[in-house]
Amino acid sequence: MKNTFLLLISILAINLTGFGQVKPIQKAVINTPGVQDEACKTRIENYIAHEYGIIAVKADYKKHVVGVQWYSDRTNIENIKTAIANLGYDADDVTADPDAYKRLPKTCQHISK
């Protein structure tokens, strides 16, 4: 009886330790001058949303920015900027990949590269 009680207490303690852990969440707004219209907005949101660790992404083509939330233990801001650049858009200080830029719709190719 005593062993059963100790076993139940141990199982309960192990299960409860997982509930107290909070995953650190980071937020950032990234300047993306290449986001010119709804097509660019949708393209970025769909691509970045599938990156590992991303919680939410919201592009604003009128302000030329992308707001991102992510789990900081899974990714970081540099990885996110690189993903945007690999899609063909400038992201703050990270320059767009030239080959990816050429594959963008013409409406998103606003700056001569």
Contacts of 47 (CB under 8 A, 6+ apart): 83, 87
Evaluate whether residue 13 is within a structural domain.
no
Domain that holds residue 87: 22-106
CATH of the domain at 89: 3.30.70.100
pLDDT value, residue 53: 95
C-alpha–C-alpha distance, residues 90 and 17, integer Å: 42
Q: Could you tell me the pTM of the whole model?
A: 0.77
Element (H, E) at 100: helix 98-102
Residue 9 in any domain: the answer is no
Query: Which pLDDT tens digits describe the chain residue by residue (113 residues)?
Result: 666 655 556 666 666 555 556 679 999 999 999 898 999 999 999 999 999 999 999 999 999 999 999 999 999 999 999 999 999 999 999 999 999 999 988 888 875 44
